[in-house]
Structure 1
Amino acid sequence: MKTPLPTGARSRRSFLKQSATWGAFMWAAPQLVRSQVLGRGGVPGANDRINLGFIGQGLQMGAHVEVVGGPGVQPLWVCDVRTQARDRAQADMVRRGFADVRATENYEDVINDPAVDAVFIVTPDHWHAAIAIAAMRAGKDVYVEKPMTLTIAEGKAMVEAERRYGTVLQVGSQQRSEHAFRKAAEMVRSGWIGEIKEVHARLGSFAPATLGAEEPIPAGFNYDKWLGPTPYEPYTEARVRSDFGGGWRCYWEYGSRKNGDWGAHHFDIAQWALGRDDSGPTLFVPKGFEGSEYQYHQYDDGIKVIRDHPIANNHMVRFVGSEGDIWVSREGRLDTSRPELAKRPLGPGDTRLYESHNHQQNWLECVRSRRATICPATIGHRTATICQLAGIAERLNRPVRWDPRAERILDDAGASRWEDRPRRAGYELPA
């Protein structure tokens, strides 16, 4: 069943009916008819094509572009501020059999194309919110990489845009679509290891950001647009490098360092397992404060999520309960202190969580059905908020208290200023 749009929101169907320009375009280029026109009641049918744009051609895009090999999708655009990256992405589409895919450095070209149904946004973190909100306003469905936003204020704006425009949005917290993480969360929710005392999350660390001497901006790179809403800084290759081990991820201007990198994955699983997707912790303490050995955040019931506490067998997340432990990682790794639990099936009275086996396909299926994805903006915002608050506490080197109901920092005007950040003129957040 199609979920009705909120009051005042324009559905794609009504927009298309009202657009004479689009009608002319549709007749002139039938191969680019938006899939929403073809399905019954304005919803794409099971065999209808979804026309896609791919914005940002860094390392992580490789995890998403494979969807064009499946049925029912048509790539129309690739976008990047680097000419070399655009050319490479366009050539890859040709190799995949899509010779007509266009390339641009301007994401606006993609989201303003009425033939585009949905977009992947795989840019550095500081661009996620602006492009996603602009895409939602233009009637596109959105897959946006994690962490969903750079600031708490951006997250609130994303949640409002998702609600206002009726967007099907997926945040790239793909561990929710992996069996082992879902099973671990279901075991915790079902009380298999008793009362949860702590959660340990292995994030690792980045080296300090390298400032270095200014370097010439390479030809074919729109550095000003790459910086976007962030302060202008002299160009260095280290600042903009796409590198899972560092690069732009090291800089506070563009992310939340490891809190926003791996924290966006593992803190998200903790939220899911603890049943806190609509809430969050109340206290954030940085490593070293008053002798604290580890960074941690704490919920109002006393449960602590501790960063980089040693975890056995190189696991990623550990749940410590009153009646046992659960360890879970990617590649289907799931271990328990009581070995029989790992193989035990869920019973009739146990908690069953949203089941997805492929994060990108879950989004595409929801684009057709209009049901909520496994990680919509409401969930992505709560997880990103944790990443951002942990980063604020780290930068200020003091605890930060948070009211998850009112969504505001308590009794600390200096910390509260970091709930948002100034944006450069010309790069304001869309309404």
Structure 2
Amino acid sequence: MESEDGRRYVEVRVPPRFLSDYAVTAAKNLKKRKEIDMDINRRHFIFAGAAAATLAGRATNKMGLRPLKPGEKRAVALIGAGMQGRFLLTEFLKQRNVRVVCVCDCDKTRREDGAVRVDAFYKDGSRCAAEADFCKVLENPLIDAVCIATPDHWHAYISVEAMKHGKDVYCEKPLTFTIDEAKKVIAAQKKYGRVFQTGSMQRSWRVFRTAVSLVRGGAIGDVRYVDANYGRSGQKLGGPSHPVRFFNVPENAAKESEGFGQLGEWGWNRWLGPAQWRPYSNQLAPVGVHKFFPMFWRFDDDIATGYNGDWGAHHLDIAQWGLDMDDSGPYRIIRSDEPYSLDRYHGGRRQFGMRMLFKSKRGGRDVELYHGPFGVWGTVFYGTNGIVAVNRGKIAVWQGFDATAEKPTEEIRRALQDVSYRKDRIVAESVGEDYGTDAAVKADEVLDSVLKQLETRFAAEIKRAGLYYSENQIRNFCECVESRKPTISPASVGGRSGALCILCNMSYRYDTGFDWDPVRMEIKGGNPKGLSLKRADCRGWEIVV
């Protein structure tokens, strides 16, 4: 990946046997910082524990909405002002019943930039706060809700503490980094009675709602196979996360430490939080306001789950929705039988081909979900009476034949890409431009016409499905803050779709399959590889519900 100034953000794995030599090299290049870093590492646990204890000591039980003064709106704070955070900030500014009053980020440039954007939008002379410490945001009784757009490893802790402090929460997907965190966020929403929304925004898109309505309403019969496609085939950013790295290129460690001064020792340790300590790298945590998604942390084993928790959090979520599994999940994870990757970035991990088995709620045969690479379609449902394929700005429906008579093959999947498969059975299709990473819904007359056609033809099936209706994920959250009704993606839903991402990544990372209890969210039948469902060491940021 490249930034606007042309710098390439390439991830390089440092084999464990080289780590000691690397540490010596890094220490020489960063002699001045070594003393600081060593001191930080010793003191961080004490500091983090004190900050966590302070928050825990001020936690609340269930509480209602704060009374507002005449003309006052609900106060929202943004925590995490990176690329996605700025998108969410723009969306929250559009909402009529809330007002953004604070932007929080450990990077001074980012939080101040966010505050300026807020002031420029409202233009009423008030000043948006620019805060470094999210703990202070959570302690503020005048803030009603928070929007969390930090890297994944912070989602759960901040979400739980926010709810304990009487705040409603909008949290980016994937909801959590570990299964243990998912269970705790779900438990916290239940215990503290807060309104919670996961940023699985495709649930508020008409094209996905229509596709899932057709599937849930029975338009294609009983679903037996599902494809969830994400990750770049044959490239360094495949499906799973990569082994933990410190610097991109060890010999350039001094150069990659540039930007540390902008965060400082406190800021860098606050960025890391529960993740294991390592020297600062501007590849991992680029400072300042930029216009690219820093995929380095997205693919770091100790911070995120690769494309499984990125695009997988979207397409696996649609699969879960279509299978009516918001209260359940798979019962078995099957290891990929694809070749091991020879790419030096991947640590020998397979990149695609993991499968999950679900018990069909309609009875009969199990449902098999397959993870494949990016393509035209994000999620594909194969039923006993047809196929529904969907992605951002795209939908295609086939009907009138048993698409489960044979297991989907690569040949069938290729034919689906250009909609050349079973043309005699196509009901309607619209394959527009690739949205890329754009999260905004675009005007598309062809797609609109196709959706109207499907909504008319399958009106009975759509009514039978009876899906939750939301046109905008953030607007839905803000409306529910006032109504106190459940959102379209509460913690119970976001936690389980996030669990799919985590289970998928675990299968690749440890090259294994296992049986799963979808109700208890636990491994069944023994754990021969000692797979962990929680962090071994959270460096003082223990999540307590």
TM-score (normalizing by structure 1): 0.85
Post-superposition offset of 1:247: 2.2
Query: In structure 1, which of residues 220, 238, 254 is the aligned counterpart of residue 262 of structure 2?
Result: 220
Contact 1:200-1:309 at 8 Å conserved across structures? no
Distance 2:491 2:529 in 1: 24
Query: In structure 1, which of residues 374, 378, 381 is the aligned counterpart of residue 488 of structure 2?
Result: 374
Aligned partner of 1:61 in structure 2 is: 85
1:306 to 2:358 alignment: no
2:328 partner SS: coil
Post-superposition offset of 1:351: 1.3
Distance 1:402 1:376 in 2: 22
Distance 1:304 1:100 in 2: 53
Contact 2:147-2:170 at 8 Å conserved across structures? yes
1:130 to 2:242 alignment: no
Post-superposition offset of 1:415: 4.9
Query: In structure 2, which of residues 67, 70, 74 is the aligned counterpart of residue 50 of structure 1?
Result: 74
Query: In structure 2, which of residues 515, 519, 535 is the aligned counterpart of residue 421 of structure 1?
Result: 535
Aligned partner of 1:265 in structure 2 is: 314
Cα–Cα, structure 1 residues 63 and 229, in superposed 2: closer, same or farther, change >3 Å? same
1:367-391 superposed Cα distances (whole Å, 9 cap, x missing partner): 0000000000001111111111111
Distance 1:275 1:261 in 2: 22
Contact 1:318-1:328 at 8 Å conserved across structures? yes
Distance 1:97 1:249 in 2: 33
1:229 partner SS: coil
Aligned partner of 2:343 in structure 1 is: none
1:284 partner SS: strand
AA aligned opposite 1:307: H
* Larger gyration radius, structure 1 or structure 2: 2
Cα–Cα, structure 1 residues 106 and 309, in superposed 2: closer, same or farther, change >3 Å? closer
2:226 partner SS: strand
Contact 1:197-1:320 at 8 Å conserved across structures? yes
AA aligned opposite 1:296: R
Note the 1:293-332 alignment, pairs <5 A: 294-301=353-360, 302-308=366-372, 314-331=376-393
1:131-161 superposed Cα distances (whole Å, 9 cap, x missing partner): 1111000000000000000001011110111
Query: In structure 2, which of residues 163, 172, 176 is the aligned counterpart of residue 145 of structure 1?
Result: 172
Distance 1:316 1:245 in 2: 22
Q: Any stretches of 5+ residues in structure 1 without a counterpart?
A: 1-7, 14-35, 40-44
Cα–Cα, structure 1 residues 129 and 290, in superposed 2: closer, same or farther, change >3 Å? same
Distance 1:357 1:80 in 2: 29
Cα–Cα, structure 1 residues 227 and 345, in superposed 2: closer, same or farther, change >3 Å? same
Query: In structure 1, which of residues 70, 74, 80 is the aligned counterpart of residue 95 of structure 2?
Result: 70
Distance 2:522 2:471 in 1: 35
2:78 partner SS: strand
1:78 partner SS: strand
Q: Cα RMSD (Å) of the superposition?
A: 2.4
1:306 partner SS: strand
Aligned residues: 393
Cα–Cα, structure 1 residues 158 and 415, in superposed 2: closer, same or farther, change >3 Å? farther
Distance 1:290 1:257 in 2: 19
Note the 1:202-221 alignment, pairs <5 A: 202-205=229-232, 206=237, 208=242, 211=247, 212-213=249-250, 214=253, 215-216=256-257, 218-221=260-263
Post-superposition offset of 1:239: 1.9
Query: In structure 1, which of residues 84, 88, 93 is the aligned counterpart of residue 118 of structure 2?
Result: 93
1:276-329 superposed Cα distances (whole Å, 9 cap, x missing partner): 100001122233369997122111342111111685xx1211111121111111
1:240-288 superposed Cα distances (whole Å, 9 cap, x missing partner): 2485362210111111111111111111111111111000011222333
Aligned partner of 1:29 in structure 2 is: none
1:268 partner SS: helix
What is the percent sequence identity of the aligned residues? Answer: 31
Post-superposition offset of 1:12: 3.0
1:14-55 superposed Cα distances (whole Å, 9 cap, x missing partner): xxxxxxxxxxxxxxxxxxxxxx3039xxxxx9x861101000
1:211-247 superposed Cα distances (whole Å, 9 cap, x missing partner): 4324435222111111100111122222224853622
Cα–Cα, structure 1 residues 150 and 219, in superposed 2: closer, same or farther, change >3 Å? same
Distance 1:202 1:430 in 2: 35
Aligned partner of 1:12 in structure 2 is: 64
Distance 1:402 1:143 in 2: 28
Cα–Cα, structure 1 residues 94 and 192, in superposed 2: closer, same or farther, change >3 Å? same
Contact 2:276-2:539 at 8 Å conserved across structures? no
Aligned partner of 1:342 in structure 2 is: 454
2:188 partner SS: helix
Contact 2:335-2:507 at 8 Å conserved across structures? yes
Aligned partner of 1:20 in structure 2 is: none
Distance 1:266 1:124 in 2: 19
2:227 partner SS: strand
Post-superposition offset of 1:89: 0.9
Aligned partner of 2:17 in structure 1 is: none
Contact 1:194-1:321 at 8 Å conserved across structures? yes
Cα–Cα, structure 1 residues 245 and 124, in superposed 2: closer, same or farther, change >3 Å? closer
1:75 partner SS: strand
1:174 to 2:174 alignment: no
1:142-185 superposed Cα distances (whole Å, 9 cap, x missing partner): 00000000001011110111011111000000000001111111
Distance 1:149 1:263 in 2: 13
1:419 partner SS: coil
TM-score (normalizing by structure 2): 0.68
